[in-house]
Structure formats: structure tokens, C-alpha cells
Structure 1
Amino acid sequence: MDKVAIYCRLSDEDKDKVNAYDESESIQNQKNLLTKYAIEKNWDIYKIYSDDDYSGMDEKRPEFNQMIVDAEQKKFDIVLCKHQSRFTRDLEMVEKYLHRKFPEWGIRFVSITDNVDTKDRGNKKARQINSLVNEWYCDDISEAVRATFKVKREDGKFIGSFAPFGYMKDKQDKNKFVIDEEAAIVVRAIFQWYLEGYGTQKIVYMLNEKGIPNPTKYKQERGLKYKNPSQTDSYGLWNKTTIRRMLRDETHIGHMVQGKREKVNYKLDVILNKPKDEWIVAKNTHEPIIEQDLFYAVQKRLNNNIRSSGEGKTHIFAGKIKCLDCKSSMNKVRSGKDYAYLRCKLYARAPASRLCTSHSIQLDKLEEIIGDKIRRYFSMTNSDTLIDRLKQNDLFCRRIGTLEKELFAVEKQIREKDNIMKSLYTDKANDMITPIQFYELNDRFIQDKEGLMKRKKSIEKAMTDIKDQLNNTEKWIEIIRKYKGFNKLTPAMVNTFIDYVEIGETDSSSEKKIIIYWNF
């Protein structure tokens, strides 16, 4: 009597089709059908193997793999499935097992509803056609799922399993975020510490010292079945990578950022990082944890690659001081225990070459000078003059003017590309160029145009950001009211008010030339 191994499988897409009135694909239905068929054929049932919630493309199905091991050890003679697709939807696996390994091991494969039987030699082409159709089905499903996810992402709907640290899924709508206040307190602290001059390593130390669990540990402690593939231990400690990723994440200012990574295809588990310009960002989809001004001030400091001192904190003007003459940054230099000053970086590299002069200034003296300038500015500023100043700010006007000129030039180039592409079609129709020449030239101009369109979008965004800043006068009025009576300059104030400062040499009147470029 032949021994038979029964194999059943059900995946998520199959479950969607199953309801109270139609259980044709259910695991239990498969078992009943196949058991009855085996008894009718007078086969001895060796074992029933069953994989629930596994795709037909998945090579890591536990019961399937155990069945393959048992088949190689010749524990049974026949593998019985309801349909060939229950065994696998992968064309390569069909060829590997049904047409190579099973014949080598003396195993016969039978599936009922599509009449597959490897004992029938004339059945081979039908099996190959079935496997090809099954693979096409997987490919179509994969593309359909990708397209659906893309639309949802563009609509600002979250499609992931776990919300980022600081948020949780809305219980009324799993595609939306609501603030998790306990975690949000930590996020706000991290941003504030960084803006105050603390380095990422110092922030890591501060969080770990306070016993605050990292995002992975936090989610697990709240009963979420979250697994971090990068996790190396279960201690729940923070690291610099997590901090920097959090500081860069626009989710914290209310934007839904998705599509950062993508699976190569449905047959491979390889996931690749996508370039930032291909991420899908939907603006203003949920309540922000961090104010935009604070967020972009942090981005500026990150982009300047500012290093903290040995105490874990940068000086108050880090990344904002430049040499007036050569435009190099000015670095902090310490002389003795208490005396610190700033010096031109270009000069410091080769003093004897006289590429520039030192432009040195004592750090506490600069803090005093700029603090006095801000106080003097506040004393001369009221709400009405601030509004006029913001609207007439020469720096913003120059920036807008430069961007408008660049936008005009880019739009002109786009029109030129369009005209050239139209001419190519005409030349091809008149047989003035060959089809090969047409496609080569046309592809090149399409790529050029795509690059120009991206640049246009970037310019328009920059113009919008500047105009928003100009129009947001109420915000600046509130900030000035908040800081007007300050005693000591803080990193937060410097980042709020100052874009950068240029330090010149001492002039004929023994005055140090200092030019401040304000953020307003």
C-alpha cells in the first residue's frame, strides 16, 4: 500500500476570500477533501502537513520544509495537495521538486482540482503551464498591493505595523497617528537638548542614566509584538544612530513619511533603502510633537556637522561663526583652563602661509557683544516695526529674487526640452532620423526633463518656505515678547534669532567688526 503525505496551505490573500458561506480554501476543508481522496485511493496516510498564514512563494514554511526532509528520507511515496498552487506558486520550486528531486527520491506528486499527477509523463507541460500561471498570479498580486500601498501613502495613510516613537495608532483609524504623550515628552527633551548644544553621545548617556527605555524596549513593555532586526541585546539602551534618526524624522512635525525602504520583489526578502527624493511625504497629516522652527534649527545644526566638546556640549555659537574675509568657519581654541576664543580655520591650518589672519575673538566677549546687540534690537522693536521689518527684509527679498530667476531659467529649459522632443517625433515621422536614433535621443531628453522637473519642485518649495517665514509675523512677535527681558544668552536664543555671524579684524578705531545675519 502506498504511503501518502497530505499537504495543506492557507495564506492571507486566501483568507480574504473565505467567509461564513464559502470555506472552499480553508485548512479544514482541504484536510477533509484530501483525506477522503486518499481513502478512496486506498492510500495509507503517513502524515498531514499544514502551513497556515504562509504565502505560496515562501521557502521558509516550517511544515513544508519538514515534509521535504521526510520525502528525501523516503518516509512516504506520494505528496497530495488540493491544487498545485497549494504546494508552491514558485516556478523554480516546481522545477526543482516536481521535475527533479521527487523523481530522484521516488516521490509521486498529485493535486486533485487541476488534475496534476507526475506519474503521467504527458502531464508535464500542463504542470509547467500551471506553475507559470501561478507565478504570474503572484506577480500581479504583488504589483496590485504595491500600487494600493502607494496610493495610501500619498494620501497620508499609515500602512506600517507600528507607529514611530512618540506616536501610537489612532484606535478609531489605524492609518492615523495620535500623540503618545509619555513617549512624546522624551522626543521633545531630545530635540531641546540637542538645540542647547549637547551632542548625540551625551544625549545617549543622559537618557540611559535616567533609565528611559529606547523605542524598541518601550514598545515591547507596552505589549506590542515589535521586533527590531538591528537589536543586539535586550537591555533597552539608547545609541547615537537612534538619536540622529529621530532628530531627522519629519514625522515629529506632523508629516507622514513613508516609502524609505522597499523590497526588491515578491520572490526575495532583500530590502533596500531608497534615496530621499523617492520617499513619499504627506504634509500635515497629524498633530506635531515638535514645532517646525525648532525642527529646522536642529536640521541646520545637524547639517553643519557640529561637534560637541569633551563635556558633551558645544559652545553657544557652534556652527554660526565665520571669518569675514575668507568665509571659513571659526573654531574654538582653548588657552589655559578658563580662557577660550574663536579663530579662523584657514589661518590655523597654515599660519606661516598668511592665507588669512586669525580674526580671533574671546568667546565670552563675543557672547557679551551679541547679547547687547539683541537687547538693543529688542529695545528699538515693537510689534508694528517688526511687521514692517519682516515684510521689507532685504535678505529675504534677495533670496526670493534669486530663486525666481533660477525658476524662470529652469522653466525655460523645460520648454526647450519639450520643443526638442516634439521635433524628434516630426523627424522620425519624416524618416530624417532612424528609430534607434529617435529612442536614444528621446530617452536622453526625458531624463534631462525629469531632472529639471525635480529642480523646479525644489525651488518652488524653497520659495514657499521663505514666503511662509515672511508671513508668519505673529510667531516672531511672540518670540520677542518671550525673550525681551533675558539675562543670559542661551543656545536656543542664538538658534532662534541668528543665521550666522561674521567676524572681521580690528579696524582703525580698535573696534572689532562683527556682522550679524538675523533669521528675521
Structure 2
Amino acid sequence: MDNVCIYLRKSRADEEIEKELGQGETLARHKKTLLEFAKQNSLNIVKIYEEIVSGESLIQRIEMLKLLEDIRDKKFTAVLCMDIQRLGRGNMQEQGLILETFKQNDTKIITLQKTYDLNNDFDEEYSEFEAFMSRKELKMINRRLQNGRIRSIQDGNYLSPLPPYGYNIVSGKRFRSLCPNVLEAPVVKLIFDMYVNKQMGSGMIAEQLNSLGYKSAKGKAFGGSSIINILKNPVYIGNITWKKKLIKKSSDPNKSKDTHQRPKSEWIITKGKHEAIIDKNIFLRAQSIIADKTHIPYQRLRSPRNPLAGLIICGVCGAKMVYRPYKNKQPHIICSNKCGNKSSKFIYIEQAVLKALNLWIGDFQFDISDCYIIDTNMIAYKKQLSSLKIELKNFEHQKSNLHDLVERGVYDDATFLARHNTIENKINIINNNISELEKKIKISSQSSIFTFPKTIKFIDLYRKTQDINKKNALLKGVLEKIVYEKAKAAKEDDFSIKVYMNIMKQSE
């Protein structure tokens, strides 16, 4: 007796039905229908594949991939399904792969209306025509859905599944909008007030809200990024934003979707039906502050800018303080832990350190020929070069293993070529990075010689050199650490430092 399997998969229409009937009801009804059909037609059902996803790409449809593998192994003479569209109506490549697998392995497709033998010219043409019409129908449905959503957005409706913090979703027969949440809306107003009127940063606002017991929309503690997201969201001034992100099905089996932010020119921003929580002028002031506060992003192996790096210690929490550059104001030394230790301009702290050093070693003459300066930039370059060489060796090993995998039948030709090209591209990128680093190491080693008199005072030496690494090395040669502390209400240069010397007792 011929072996037949059943393939079950939901359609988009079925998902709408399941919202009323409950998850899994559709597949259960379909299974019952097909089993009754099999009994009436004396079909020998040996296996049932139940696909729980709908509208996904082939790579995400685990049961279909298993079915195709079993068809190649000649386990079935036919597959029973509700209709041929259940097998797939995605792109032409995926449909072609599915139908070609059935044809090459002489496996029939049995539906409630018709049996398809793809080795029969008429059935093959008919199945291809149905597949074409199915794709066309799918595109038309998607287009109508998108156009409908856009019209609804332009009418001021809110279509996202979850409400933004500060609102609840309200819906009726012809609308879906937002209304202020009586508990969360005051918190949104408080956030904007602290940011705009009290000049508090996002991290400090998050700490303040957490200390008061407030929770985010997901019931978690607030963080600086969640505060910024609230401050940037135009929904709070009554606007609706759509098409900010481009979401596509992922080709990665471990991911269902790939998400990218669209250019602002493609966004749809329209007036919503909901009530605004924040005044427009306050919102615009917040955007201006955010733009002014945006600091320059840090990048590995950029030219160093902080000669005090690794030396400044927070007097409140004990953490190492960091150099923070800004767009429109002077750089500061800050504590990232938000412990209440107020920051100061870098230039004030540097001057205070040099003043303290001048009291202790101002008259000392340094012999340049005996002065060994550690080039921290060179150390960083060499560490990364070593890391890249290890990475290069790993990729070259992977490349050599590809041929073994082909010979053992693990990879087919197409997979081998794709994997080979990917590894080759990575090897080229690593080789280019190695060449760039070797050039930087050569330049750094050539510029490591001081061109000063044989003996010179420490402060003069520090001020004359323009190399930040050398400044940092000079300071680390005489300093163990610098402990910094400043009250919240203190003015710009009103702070205290304790300078701990490597060669002397502490100075205050």
C-alpha cells in the first residue's frame, strides 16, 4: 500500500479565525477533515506534519523542510493537504524548489478538490498557474493591507500593537486610538520637566524615577536609553509616526525577522486622534537639548585625548572617571556610575593636577636620555595586531576545511561556493586591517623620540610635548592616582583632588 503523509499549515485567514476560536483550533479542524478524507479514499497515512507558522519564508518553516527531506528519501508517494497553496505561495524561487522536489521524486499532491501529478504536463501547468495566481493574490492582499494601514494612520488612528508609556489603547468600530493612562501620564510630564526645566540628564532621571518606585511599561526599572526614547517620541504631542522601521523576513534560521531603521524622509508623521500629554514647545526644547548633548561616539584606536586616562578616581564610589567630549562645549571628566560626584571641565582638573605636581617636583630636572616613555598607543596597536593574526589563522583553517566538507557530502557545490566567498571576503578585510595597523606601528615607533634639551623640568616637558600618550606616560611615571570629589552645588572649578605620588607621600 502506498504511504501518504498529511501536511497542515495555517493561512492568514485562519489566523483571524483563531483569534476567535483559540490557538491551534484551525490545525485541529483541518486534521480532522483530512483524516476523514483519507479514510473515505483509503489513503494510508503514515505521518502528519503540523506547521505552526504562517506567512513565513521557507527557511523558517521547519516542518516543510523536514517534509522535503523525507520526499527526497522516497518515504511517501503522495502528500495530502487542504489545498496546493498550503505548500507555499512565497516567492517564485521557493515555490519552484517545493514543486520541483515533488516532481523529481514522483510524489503526488492530493487536495480535497484534485490530485496533482507533476510529471503530467497538464497537472504541472495547472499547478504552476495556481502558484502564479496564489502569488498574485498574496501581493494584492499585502498591498491592500499596507494601503489600508496607511489610510488609517493618515486618519489619525494608532495601529501599533502596544501603547507607548503614558497611554492606553482605546478602540471602537471605526477607530483605534490612545487615551492618557492616569498613572503613567504624570510620569511622562515629570520626565520632560526634569529634562527641560531642571537640566537633569537621562541617567539621573532614570535613577530618580527608580528611587520613587516607578516602573517602565514592561514593569522593569528605567534606564537612560528608555528615558531618551520617551523624550524623542512625538506621540506625546499628539502625532502618529509610521514606517520608521523596515522589517523583512530573515534568511538566518535563528532569526525570524531583520529590522532596519528607514531614512527619515520615508517616515509617515501625521496628527493623531489622541490627546497630547506634552506641550509642543516643551517637546521641541527637549529635542534641542538632546541634539546639543549628543557626545561624540567612542571608537577603538582613535587618537587619545585624555592625558589623565587611568589616573582619576571618583572620591565617592571609587570608580575610574572618564573623559567625555561634547559637540558645543568643552570636554569634562565624569563618573559613569551617576553616584552624585559632579563633573568638571577637563582643563580645570588638568591645571589643578599640574599645580599640585609643581609644588612637589617643580624644581626637579629630568634627564631625557634616562626617561623611558611607554607608548600606550603602540601597545594597543600590537594587541589588536596579535588578535587579528589569530582571527586570520582561524579563517584560513575554516577555508581549508571546506574541501573536506564537500568531499564528505556535508556541503553541496552551491553551499561550498557561498561559504568559500564569505570566508575569502573576511580574510581580505583582516589582511587590509593588518596592513593598516603595521603602518601605524611603524609611524608610532618613528615618532617616539623626544627632541628636547638633555635636561628639562617635568612641567615644561609635559607642556611642550603634544603627544597625548607621552603626556599620560609622564604622569603615570610620577603619579599613582588622583582622587577627585565635587559637591552637587559646587561651581565649575570648586572641587578637591588628592594626588598620590609614586615616589613621594600623598599631597593634598
Matched AA of 1:240: G
Q: Alignment length, in residue pairs?
A: 304
Over 3 Å counting, the alpha-carbon distance change for 1:146 and 1:194 in structure 2 is: same
| Aligned residue among 245, 259, 278 for 2:229 | 245
Matched AA of 2:142: S
Q: Which residue number corresponds to residue 150 of structure 1?
A: 150
Matched AA of 1:117: D
Deviations 1:135-170 (A, max 9, x none): 111111111111111101111111111111111101
Q: Which residue number corresponds to residue 3 of structure 1?
A: 3
Deviations 1:153-196 (A, max 9, x none): 11111111111111110154761101112222221221111111
Q: Which residue number corresponds to residue 81 of structure 2?
A: 81
The percentage of counterpart residues that share the same residue type is: 22
Deviations 1:441-460 (A, max 9, x none): xxxxxxxxxxxxxxxxxxxx
| Aligned residue among 288, 299, 302 for 2:276 | 288
Q: Tell me if structure 2 keeps the 8 A contact 1:85–1:131.
A: yes
Between the aligned partners of 1:93 and 1:278, the Cα distance in structure 2 is 30
Over 3 Å counting, the alpha-carbon distance change for 1:183 and 1:62 in structure 2 is: farther
Instruction: Tell me if 1:258 matches 2:242.
Output: yes
Matched AA of 2:247: K
1:489-504 maps to which residues of 2 (within 5 A)? none
Over 3 Å counting, the alpha-carbon distance change for 1:38 and 1:163 in structure 2 is: same
Structure 2 stretches lacking a partner, 5+ long? 296-313, 316-326, 334-342, 346-508
Q: Tell me if structure 1 keeps the 8 A contact 2:250–2:258.
A: no
| Partner secondary structure for residue 60 of structure 2 | coil
Between the aligned partners of 1:188 and 1:77, the Cα distance in structure 2 is 66
Matched AA of 1:99: E
Structure 1 stretches lacking a partner, 5+ long? 219-235, 312-327, 335-339, 343-520
Matched AA of 1:118: L
Between the aligned partners of 1:269 and 1:19, the Cα distance in structure 2 is 23
| Partner secondary structure for residue 181 of structure 1 | coil
Between the aligned partners of 1:171 and 1:122, the Cα distance in structure 2 is 50
1:5 CA drift (Å): 0.9
Instruction: Tell me if 1:212 matches 2:214.
Output: yes
Q: Tell me if structure 2 keeps the 8 A contact 1:110–1:118.
A: no
Between the aligned partners of 2:242 and 2:56, the Cα distance in structure 1 is 27
Q: Which residue number corresponds to residue 141 of structure 2?
A: 141
Between the aligned partners of 1:286 and 1:19, the Cα distance in structure 2 is 27
Q: Which residue number corresponds to residue 349 of structure 1?
A: none
Matched AA of 1:279: W
Over 3 Å counting, the alpha-carbon distance change for 1:305 and 1:18 in structure 2 is: closer
Q: Tell me if structure 1 keeps the 8 A contact 2:58–2:94.
A: no
Q: Which residue number corresponds to residue 200 of structure 2?
A: 198
Matched AA of 1:145: L
The TM-score, its normalising length taken from structure 2, stands at 0.50
Q: Tell me if structure 1 keeps the 8 A contact 2:10–2:52.
A: yes
Q: Tell me if structure 2 keeps the 8 A contact 1:12–1:53.
A: no
Q: Which residue number corresponds to residue 117 of structure 1?
A: 117
Q: Tell me if structure 2 keeps the 8 A contact 1:84–1:111.
A: yes
Q: Which residue number corresponds to residue 160 of structure 2?
A: 160
1:109 CA drift (Å): 2.9
Q: Tell me if structure 2 keeps the 8 A contact 1:56–1:88.
A: no
1:6-25 maps to which residues of 2 (within 5 A)? 6-14=6-14
Q: Which residue number corresponds to residue 189 of structure 2?
A: 188
Deviations 1:500-520 (A, max 9, x none): xxxxxxxxxxxxxxxxxxxxx
Between the aligned partners of 2:224 and 2:17, the Cα distance in structure 1 is 46
**Superposition RMSD on alpha carbons, in Å?**
4.3
1:89-488 maps to which residues of 2 (within 5 A)? 89-90=89-90, 91-100=92-101, 102=102, 107-120=107-120, 122-170=122-170, 172=172, 175-195=176-196, 196-215=198-217, 217-218=218-219, 236-264=220-248, 269-283=257-271, 285-305=273-293
Matched AA of 2:289: R
Between the aligned partners of 2:204 and 2:50, the Cα distance in structure 1 is 52
